Structure formats: C-alpha cells, structure tokens
C-alpha cells in the first residue's frame, strides 16, 4: 500500500500563496513563482473538502432524501510566526511575499494557493507549471480564496508567537497526484 510520507527530508508539506489570481491553471496546480509567499514554520495542516448535504423527509417514503449542496472547502494550519512571512518584506511592493500573511488577511486580498502535501525540497520545482513534471508521487491541492482566522498567541511556557491560519476557498478546490 502506497503512503504519502511527510517525515523524511524534502517530503514535508509546502504551502505557497500568490496574489496573482489571473492564472487560469489552478486546476492543474500551476502557481506563478514570482513574488510567491512560502508559508514557513508549519506545525500542522488540515485540508477540508466538505460537500454539504440537504436532507428532507416526505410522505412518499419512510427514509430520508438527500441532495448534495455546494462544497465549503478550506485549508487550515498553525504556524510559528516568522517576521517576514507574517508582516511582509516590503508592503509598498506588490506580491504576496512582500505583503505578508497579516496584510493579505486584513485587506481581504484574493489569493491563489498551492498546498504540496509531500515535497518542499525546492519551491522553483513546483511553481510556474513545473509541478506537472515531478515524478515522485507528489500530491497537491490548489485553488483561490482568502486568508482568515489569524489569532497570534504566546504564553510563558510557549514563548514564540503562533497563529492559526485558514484559507477560505473561493470556488473549486482542485487536487492532483503527480506520478
């Protein structure tokens, strides 16, 4: 049985965020490499694909009837806050890497995201359409959305700031496996 391993060198999850939402290839995991923000110091990540279901009963049947409703997808994670990734390198310049996570959230900036489940050895290898050339069973999820739910916290027994982050997916979340 094949497994998606994330505990070996180069196989940890990678989350990339871009403000270039004009890229029409999110369904293939394509994200532009220029000004992409690599979310660092991941503690955990959860990819939720949640198709809703509408249920009803009527007098024609003794069982419940069900229909699917649109999915409400999201990517949630916890990170240790990195100054540049959180506050940005230079908020006067365009691009996710210059704006930072806090700016993108507070300004409700639409983003494109790529979550590579098990490959972080080289960001350039998965950007600009290169993910389709990987041949090492690399799994990914991609789409567009908004960054929400930032809540930085610190305590005496955990003396670094950590925060949850949620990417609320706007539209379809695509998934793939490059083999």
Domains and CATH numbers, the chain: 14-54+64-178 (2.30.110)
- Buried b / exposed e over 124-161, threshold 16 CB at 10 Å, is ebbbeebbeebeebbbbbbbbbebeebeeeeeeeeeee
CB 117, CB 13: distance < 8 Å: yes
C-alpha distances in angstroms, 93 versus 96, 100, 124, 150?
A: 9, 11, 21, 22
Residue 24 pLDDT: 60
104, containing H or E segment: helix 101-106
Residue 13 pLDDT: 92
Which distant-in-sequence residues (6+ apart) come within 8 Å of 178 by Cβ? 29, 131, 132, 133, 134, 135, 136, 137, 138, 139, 140
What is the distance of C-alpha 69 from the center of its chain? Answer: 22
Q: Is 101 helix (H, G, I), strand (E, B) or coil?
A: helix
Q: How far apart (Å, rounded) are the C-alpha atoms in residues 37 and 88?
A: 9
Q: How far apart (Å, rounded) are the C-alpha atoms in residues 138 and 168?
A: 23
CB 78, CB 41: distance < 8 Å: no
Residue by residue, pLDDT tens for the chain (179 residues) are 467 878 777 788 999 999 988 766 788 889 988 889 999 899 999 999 998 899 999 999 899 999 999 999 999 999 999 999 999 987 677 889 899 999 999 999 999 999 999 887 778 888 888 888 876 788 999 999 999 999 999 999 989 999 999 999 999 999 998 87
Q: pTM of the entire structure? A: 0.90
CB 26, CB 136: distance < 8 Å: no
- The angle formed by the CA atoms of residues 81, 87 and 88, to the nearest 5 degrees, is 115
């Amino acid at each position: 049985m094949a497994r998606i391993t994330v505990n070996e060198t180069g196989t940890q999850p990678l989350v990339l965020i871009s403000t270039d939402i004009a890229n029409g290839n999110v369904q293939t995991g394509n994200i532009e490499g220029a000004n992409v923000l690599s979310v660092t110091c991941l503690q955990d990540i959860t990819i939720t694909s949640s198709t809703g279901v509408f249920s009803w009963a009527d007098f024609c049947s003794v069982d419940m009837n069900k229909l699917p409703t649109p999915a409400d997808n999201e990517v949630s994670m916890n990170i240790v806050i990195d100054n540049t990734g959180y506050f940005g390198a230079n908020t006067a310049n365009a691009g996710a890497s210059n704006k930072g996570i806090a700016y993108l959230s507070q300004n409700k900036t639409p983003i494109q995201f790529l979550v590579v489940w098990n490959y972080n050895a080289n960001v350039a290898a998965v950007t600009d359409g290169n993910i389709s050339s990987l041949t090492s069973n690399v799994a990914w999820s991609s789409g567009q959305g908004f960054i929400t739910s930032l809540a930085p916290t610190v305590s005496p027994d955990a003396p670094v700031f950590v925060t949850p982050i949620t990417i609320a997916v706007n539209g379809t979340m695509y998934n793939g496996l490059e083999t």
